[in-house]
Structure 1
Amino acid sequence: MSIKDKLPAGTVLGFGTAPLGNMFRNIPDAEAAATVDAAWQHGIRYFDTAPFYGAGLAELRLGDALAAHRRDDYVLSTKVGRVILDEVEDTSARDLGEKGGLFEFGRPNRMVNDYSADATLRSIDDSLKRLRTDRLDIVWVHDMAQDFYGDEWLAQFEIARKGAFRVLTRLREEGVIRAWGLGVNRVEPCELTLDLAEANPDGFLLAGRYTLLDHERALQRLMPGALAQNVEIVVGGPYSSGVLAGGTHFEYQQASPEILAKVERIRAIAARYGVPVKAAALRFSLAHPATAAVIPGASRPERIAEDQAALKVEIPADFWREMREQELVAANAPLPIDR
């Protein structure tokens, strides 16, 4: 069980397509297509998407963009847990838990949350059609956590345990998919899954929980537990919803004054050493031995080049030492200078 083995050789940077679902803004089709093309031209061969991203919009756009390429030349992951219906609704009024109107500019199709076996199979079939492909490499069980379900998240987890988990395990055994795991914004479902002897996931796509700005909880149990079981982590949202990349969002909402103040402290140290914050963010997430790859999102072509350039920046060891001394990274967090 290794996610790294399922990714193209040498891959540490993938492309998260949530922005292509019109997250936060109405993105023109041409701009979305140009962004995927830029990712391809810069050598990215791992693409992650989900039905939830704009009620299928991101999958449709990604499928159209990748149709020009050989299927064997890239790795594709999507998610299950939501089924898209033909019915329409007012997207500005969608109940997305703490995420509010995250995809209010997406397609108007109504989505239903369903982690059962039948819904999992239907979701996969629908995703294959939207993505214009005959197979999926990795399937993540999406958003079974408190940020979407509140106190009911454990009930949703139990449905997934009896439904999606078993279906995906069978599909992996049959060779229909190559790997499966959870795609979540919280560590608790991942920890619970590691404790289940029957689950045996290959990895987790963990968004926003192992970043330069927010990583303490993941360090406590999840990362050590994942290492012990050879379950690897794909880090989503390495820029913490954009606030580490010059934006104002954290946790998909406007960042609090406390978060903005912490970001400014990081920026001040980075400026002294001539380090782009993006570079520090990517290298931090990749420094943990449990991390298989990072997948920042992008909705503009130029952002892809920025990510690639950031990954190549040489960061002075003194930068990392000062970050640790100023307690801006946890004392036990692996850093590039520790290797």
Structure 2
Amino acid sequence: MTTPHTDEHADRPLIPTRQLGATGITAPAVGIGCWAIGGPDSNLGMPMGWSTGDDDARSLSGLEAAWQHGARLYDTADVYGHGRSERLVGRLVAQVPRHEIVLGSKVGYFAGTAEHGFEPRHMRRQLEQSLDNLRTDHLDIYAFHHPNFGVDDRWLHPALEAMRTFRDEGLINAIGMRGPHRFALDRLSTGPDQRGDKVARFRALFDIVQPDILAIRDNLLTPASRSEGVFSFADEHNVGVLISKPLGQGLLTGTYRSDVQRVFGDGDHRLRKRWFQPDAIQIINAGLDRVRALIGPRSEDLIRVALWGCLNRSPNAVVLVGFTTPDQVQMNISSLGRRPDAAEIAAARDIMAEVQTRLDAAGETVLTTPTPSSLAE
């Protein structure tokens, strides 16, 4: 990659800059989610990677393309490919000025031989490994990856003390946590009527952790009732927001076809997600056709309204867009283009809210895989 940190790319899209709450961290509003480039993998006895992200040379080219197109925030986790994603991002870090790149990683979903993923000594070992993988001496954002701190929250206060110590030592700048989120095993092993109120759980943890950054899932399929409150909450507390899954892991780009059964390899989380089955894709694509009639026929038009629909949620938010190929990176960033007006975004959300309702209704009768999708949670 030649002089990737220069601003000589006159044809690259102008990405608005966002400040992440009170952290002082600023970044272009489109960041890069680096889960998929961890490749196929499993954790907690289930597939949790991406079988289509198994080409390291292609992944590195995508990271470099993102930089060249103006992306500066890169979000990963220790469990994404069990270090593979972090090491790839580290290869980019070695090529660019460290002060120009915003690096975030997460801890907790991989426990290794520790008693729990949030056992403090394990957290320190994982942080040190993440720093080595990312070729840096500090992280801008380090986040609790899930809200399960053991029986009776045994590890909550020790883990929080560890995080604050890392910050005091200059190893991290900002502490992050998830918005309303269920631990992966809870979604698999506990019935919907027995899972408890995840919003109440989030509020209780927020009061204790007092994070600098929230990671919130949001896209056009997310019901307003599930998201608007948490964005307002973040703004009220001047907390930065990283929005994940803005394109529904590709389902909102119109590139999935209902007449073709997509084949996912071992270690791909989509194997257990019902929304990636042909019957669900048919329902989603019917909604996308209605959105296209309003905003334009191309995938770029769908991506534009999807990204701006998320960016409009909060002035303190950056969207994280994942990828497995450099072409996806270029399309996602270049599609940002003209900001849709509020009416276009509202209409697209209304249409896809109907799609969400149809997907929920079809979940027990039409769709065939056993576990629910988490794209809208």
Give the TM-score taking structure 1 as reference length: 0.75
**CA shift in 2, pair 1:4/1:226, >3 Å:** closer
The offset of 1:263, in angstroms, is: 4.2
The offset of 1:40, in angstroms, is: 0.9
1:315 aligned onto 2:340: yes
Contact 1:116 1:162 (8 Å CA) reproduced: no
Q: Deviations over 1:235-285 (max 9, x none)?
A: 011111211123549x84241535641442233222343161111110111
Q: 2:34 aligns with which of 6, 17, 26?
A: 17
Quick one: percent identity of the two aligned structures?
24
1:297 aligned onto 2:322: yes
Q: Distance in 2 between matches of 1:201 and 1:69?
A: 28
Contact 1:81 1:119 (8 Å CA) reproduced: no
**CA shift in 2, pair 1:274/1:316, >3 Å:** farther
The offset of 1:47, in angstroms, is: 0.6
1:201 aligned onto 2:211: yes
The 3-state SS of whatever aligns with 1:213 is coil
Q: Distance in 2 between matches of 1:17 and 1:121?
A: 22
Equivalent in the alignment of 1:107? none
The offset of 1:210, in angstroms, is: 1.5
- RMSD of equivalent CA atoms: 3.2
- Unaligned ranges ≥5, structure 1: 86-109, 145-152, 331-339
Q: Distance in 2 between matches of 1:119 and 1:179?
A: 19
Equivalent in the alignment of 2:71? 44
Q: 2:176 aligns with which of 177, 181, 184?
A: 181
> One-letter code of the match for 1:231?
V
> One-letter code of the match for 2:165?
R
Contact 1:45 1:73 (8 Å CA) reproduced: yes
The offset of 1:64, in angstroms, is: 1.6
The alignment covers a number of residue pairs equal to 295
The 3-state SS of whatever aligns with 1:178 is strand
Equivalent in the alignment of 1:165? 160
> One-letter code of the match for 1:168?
M
1:61 aligned onto 2:88: yes
1:138 aligned onto 2:141: yes
**CA shift in 2, pair 1:323/1:139, >3 Å:** same
Contact 2:32 2:321 (8 Å CA) reproduced: yes
In the TM superposition, 1:1-339 aligns within 5 A as: 3-4=20-21, 6=23, 9=26, 11-22=28-39, 23-25=50-52, 27-83=54-110, 114-144=117-147, 153=148, 155=150, 158-183=153-178, 186=181, 192-196=201-205, 197-206=207-216, 209-219=217-227, 221-248=229-256, 252=270, 253-255=273-275, 257-258=279-280, 260-274=282-296, 276-289=301-314, 291-316=316-341, 318-323=343-348, 326=351, 328=353
Q: Deviations over 1:155-175 (max 9, x none)?
A: 368244223222112333444
The offset of 1:77, in angstroms, is: 0.4
Give the TM-score taking structure 2 as reference length: 0.68
The 3-state SS of whatever aligns with 1:163 is helix
Q: Distance in 1 between matches of 2:142 and 2:228?
A: 26
> One-letter code of the match for 1:170?
T
**CA shift in 2, pair 1:259/1:192, >3 Å:** farther
The 3-state SS of whatever aligns with 2:242 is strand
Most deviating of 193-202 and 68-77: 193-202
- Unaligned ranges ≥5, structure 2: 1-18, 40-49, 183-196, 257-261, 263-268, 356-377
The 3-state SS of whatever aligns with 1:244 is helix
The offset of 1:205, in angstroms, is: 1.4
The 3-state SS of whatever aligns with 1:269 is helix
Q: Which has the higher contact order (CA 8 A, sep 6+)?
A: 2
Q: Distance in 1 between matches of 2:354 and 2:33?
A: 25
Q: Distance in 1 between matches of 2:285 and 2:213?
A: 29
> One-letter code of the match for 1:67?
A
The offset of 1:317, in angstroms, is: 5.1
